[in-house]
Amino acid sequence: MAEIVTAAMLVIGDEILSGRTKDKNIGHLADVMTAIGIDLKEVRIVPDEEDEIVAAVNAVRARYTYVFTTGGIGPTHDDITADSISRAFGVPCEYDARAYQMLEASYIKREMEFTEARKRMARMPRGAEHIDNPVSLAPGFRIGNVHVMAGVPAIFQAMLDNVVPTLKTGTKLLSATVHCPFGEGVIGGPLADIQKAHPDTIIGSYPKYLDGKFWTELVVRARTQEALDAAHAEVEAMVLRLSPGN
Amino acid sequence: MAEIVTAAMLVIGDEILSGRTKDKNIGHLADVMTAIGIDLKEVRIVPDEEDEIVAAVNAVRARYTYVFTTGGIGPTHDDITADSISRAFGVPCEYDARAYQMLEASYIKREMEFTEARKRMARMPRGAEHIDNPVSLAPGFRIGNVHVMAGVPAIFQAMLDNVVPTLKTGTKLLSATVHCPFGEGVIGGPLADIQKAHPDTIIGSYPKYLDGKFWTELVVRARTQEALDAAHAEVEAMVLRLSPGN
């Protein structure tokens, strides 16, 4: 029996919504989730506003197996993710003793002042567990099914590498791709028939447009090799049948 | 008095959530909205599932001045945006006479069959208005405050160009950027003080990490030049004050 494990992502940050920063983390998380058999079902990008973050995290953590957030865990006044997640879980946001000591020791060693701003990075919801940050030290954290990580892509990716081995993964969705030299108008009808005949698969049709010409990438997805192969063969046969000369 | 106009974006498509396609439309819409003085407040990426699309569009259209959707308006079975938006508005999804005739004429002219799949592209909620598509003909549509556009970036951008002149725009959020050679730990405290002293501005701090070094981009935003200039000057003075040799 295929086990379905689901996830949602919360991207936190005004800079993404203003266009100033172009998100690179959604695509990376999507790739990693697909690779390990977790279905990413929803992504929300929300501003640096506590009410918005609280509402969004509570909406998605109730619906999906896992939630992953990026952004807002640095030392400045607009980094309000730890406070917001604490409020969402109804627990205090406080200095984590281990994070505080680790950060303090690191700044002492580097002969730098452990400022109030830097101390902010040791704050997390009571009861949270660390997500190690091999790049810049300040940890992310996990509370319940919510994983809170950095927005800087290099740090997010490193943190996610530490999270992945802790996740329950589902039955991986297998996929097969068929290159189709026609636009969707040609194949829409027969493709819908194949989808109807193979309800245990998900058949996607992705239109591509390049230099004035349309082509289509057809993707068959299924949780068993048998289901995949059967639908894949029919899609390939359809494309061949429609090709000139046939 | 500054007028605030808000927007949300709905990205519709399994291919984005699986990582197979990397979204390019969010950043483009964000840039355009910022340029014309509309605040993009939320983005959601949802799968090709009617219930999910209906719930998301109803959630955001009630909250924001405008909603923009991308994806799911092609001719194949997984293109269910027109049906979903119709259900969200409680109106029938039917062939639009003008879209149908335009598509039919185009296929006749090109000596191509006007297949059932192609006819799907003429379907839209009753009462919707066309959004012209100068690239591939099949129109998007507007109903209420919701603008439904293609997912293929070249087509989305062309449709958005047609939509922009119809939008009410707000007082543009002005911005000024200060390059800060320090990490956020150094400037977090003084920056928070400046934000507190200038409540009519939004001061963002965006950490950058490159080749083992941190630096920070500081962005001041305000709706009047006076407010912007005052906070901007203080941020610049702070960076200077913290620089070595001062």
A50-78: pLDDT as tens digits: 999 999 999 999 999 999 999 999 888 88
pLDDT of amino acid A1: 56
pLDDT of amino acid B24: 96
Do A74 and B203 make contact, defined as CB atoms within 8 angstroms? Answer: no
**Helix count (H) and strand count (E) of chain B?**
9, 11
Do A14 and B155 make contact, defined as CB atoms within 8 angstroms? Answer: no
The partner residue sitting opposite B136, judged by closest CB among A16, A75, A209, is A209
Q: How many domains does chain A have?
A: 2
User: What is the SS3 assignment for A155?
Assistant: helix
Within a domain: A141: yes
Within a domain: B1: no
Query: Do both B178 and B132 map to the same domain?
Result: no
- Domain edge (last residue) among A166, A198, A221: A166
Window 62-91 of B, Cβ < 8 Å to A: 74-79
Q: What is the CATH number of the domain that holds A202?
A: 3.30.70.600
Best residue of B10, B25, B26 to probe chain A, by most A CBs closer than 10 Å: B26
Average pLDDT, chain B: 92
Among A14-28, A209-223, B173-187, B214-228, the minimum mean pLDDT is found in A209-223
Query: Do both A138 and A215 map to the same domain?
Result: no
Query: Do both A83 and A108 map to the same domain?
Result: yes
pLDDT of amino acid A135: 83
Identify the domain containing residue A157 by its residue range. Answer: 6-166
Query: Do both A208 and A112 map to the same domain?
Result: no
Do B76 and A184 make contact, defined as CB atoms within 8 angstroms? Answer: yes
By DSSP bridging, strand B140-143 and strand B123-125 are unpaired
pLDDT band at B80 (very low <50, low <70, confident <90, very high): very high
Query: Do both B15 and B43 map to the same domain?
Result: yes
For residue B142, pLDDT beyond 90: yes
Chain B residue with minimal CA distance to A43? B45
Query: Do both A39 and A135 map to the same domain?
Result: yes
Window 163-202 of A, Cβ < 8 Å to B: 173, 184-189, 191-192, 195, 202
pLDDT of amino acid A182: 86
Record the pTM: 0.86
pLDDT in tens, B185-196: 889 889 999 999
pLDDT in tens, A79-107: 999 999 999 999 999 999 999 999 999 99
User: What is the SS3 assignment for B177?
Assistant: strand
Residue A214 and residue A187 in contact, taking contact as beta carbons nearer than 8 Å: no
pLDDT of amino acid B45: 98
Do B31 and A19 make contact, defined as CB atoms within 8 angstroms? Answer: yes
Within a domain: A128: yes
Report ipTM for this prediction: 0.85
Residue B47's φ and ψ, nearest 5 degrees, are -80, 175
**Residue predicted with more confidence, B2 or B147:** B147
Query: Do both A110 and A207 map to the same domain?
Result: no
For residue A131, pLDDT beyond 90: yes
Query: Do both A21 and A110 map to the same domain?
Result: yes
- Residues of chain A in contact with residue B82, where contact means CB-CB under 8 angstroms, are none
Q: In angstroms, what is the C-alpha Rg of chain A?
A: 23
What number is the average pLDDT over the span B199-214? 83
For residue A13, pLDDT beyond 80: yes
- Domain edge (last residue) among A113, A132, A166: A166
Chain B residue with minimal CA distance to A176? B20
Do B192 and A219 make contact, defined as CB atoms within 8 angstroms? Answer: no
Q: What is the CATH number of the domain that holds B72?
A: 3.40.980.10
Query: Do both A47 and A158 map to the same domain?
Result: yes
- Domain edge (last residue) among B166, B195, B222: B166
Within a domain: A88: yes
pLDDT in tens, A139-189: 999 999 999 999 999 999 999 999 998 999 887 788 999 999 988 888 888
Strand partners, B1: none
Within a domain: A113: yes
